[in-house]
Amino acid sequence: MKTEELKKNRNAASEAIAVAKRNKEDATEQIAAMKNVGAEIKALDSELAEVKAKVDYILVRLPNFPDDSAPVGPDESFSREERKWSTPREFDFEPLAHWDIGEKLGILDFERAAKVSGSRFVYYKGAGARLERAIYNFMLDQHAKEGYEEMITPYLVNGESMFGTGQFPKFTEDVYTMTNEGEPMTLIPTAEVPLTNFYRDEILDGAQLPIYFTALSPAFRSEAGSAGRDTRGLIRMHQFNKVEMVKFTKPEESFNELEKMTADAENILKALNLPYHVITLATGDASFTSAKTYDIEVWLPAQNTYREISSCSDCTDFQARRAQIRYRDEDGHVNLVHTLNGSGLAVGRTVAAILENYQNEDGSVTIPEQLVPYMGGMTKIEAK
């Protein structure tokens, strides 16, 4: 307030000095006083900028407000199961883990990937590579039927994009960065980043909403803090393929769109006949950007448990505010959109689920019926 008052007085004094000069009157004292005011304004502006920087540092690290429907609690033990689908298969033999199945069939090679790149990498070979491709093509086709527009995005993004979707500045240690012509760039941890930022700093026509995007992309993650967890197999990788869903909606539609997005992810698992359950994440377990999140966990027989294969989140206007994604309504008012994102699905984890749930006692793996056309008619993967 003091700065604004000083600037107001300076403007008035400037006009008075101009009048004095036009009238050929002496304005020496007024000019000297103006210099002092200018110095005071400069000092106050500097102090204000410093305070604003401190406030901004705190604000950009505050998470989204959780929705009232999310269970309250500090960790995943407070999350709430919403529903289950299908009964896990009962085996009359000891089911193998997917990494053992893949290596025995010669379709996954973790050892050579470790030689070439280090831990948490894999080579898909032969029918394994074809299975991965069949899965993501099937997923993309299913999402297209539900009205999602398929995109192929950049895999490197700038810092503004990572800030817009909420990864930066809080999670800078969880990603891989490099420079391009001196510009810091990040390998995307999810296609959510380039898909959501597609409309950054734009005003959309409200009549176009909702807008649905889907994309296949690699996801690159450093997995900082995951030492010792899921060290074998396809569950926790530094690089993996994922089909992503992103929506831009009006605020009053976003929670209904979250239910539809979650159903779209569930329908992939239903089509592949893979048992799963859906949980609503507790407030302390939800992501930084999310107001409400459903996790879909698929059954893995060798682990005798459900593991996450999709996470569907309503970020309300949190990302839109950071990325300045807005829409103009029918009355001409400009408002923030709501953004949603979800995995539809993580492809490697889907491979793992198929290998474990469709394994046979002779070591072969039956191809799910929906994927047979994508596998060129192949109905079973057998050791060569």
Active-site amino acid positions: 221, 236, 308, 311, 349
Q: How many CB atoms lie within 10 A of CB 122?
A: 25
**Ligand-binding site membership of 249 (annotated):** no
Per DSSP, the residues of 230-278 read S-SSSSS-SEEEEEEEEEEE-GGGHHHHHHHHHHHHHHHHHHTT--EEE
Is 290 annotated to bind ligand? no
150 is annotated as contributing to ligand binding: no
* Rounded-to-integer distance, Cα 204 and Cα 335, Å: 10
Work out the number of other CB atoms within 10 angstroms of the CB of residue 155. Answer: 16
Q: What angle do CA 286, 292, 298 make, to 5 degrees?
A: 70
User: What's the alpha-carbon Rg for the chain, to the nearest Å?
Assistant: 27
The answer on whether 341 is annotated among ligand-binding residues is yes
- Give the pair of three-digit tokens for residue 155: 């895999």
61 is in an annotated binding site: no
Q: 108: which residues sit within 8 A by CB, 6+ positions away?
A: 98, 99, 102, 122, 123, 124, 125, 128, 234
Is 183 annotated in a binding site? The answer is: no
Q: Are 343 and 243 in contact (CB under 8 A)?
A: yes
How far is Cα 268 from Cα 343, in angstroms, rounded to an integer? 11
**Residue 308, annotated ligand binder?**
yes
Is 310 annotated to bind ligand?
yes
How far is residue 67's CA from residue 315's CA, in Å, rounded to a whole number? 10
Residue 188 annotated as lining a ligand binding site: no
- 223 among annotated binding-site residues: yes
List the binding residues for ATP.
221-223, 308-311
Residues of the binding site for L-serine = 190, 221, 244, 341
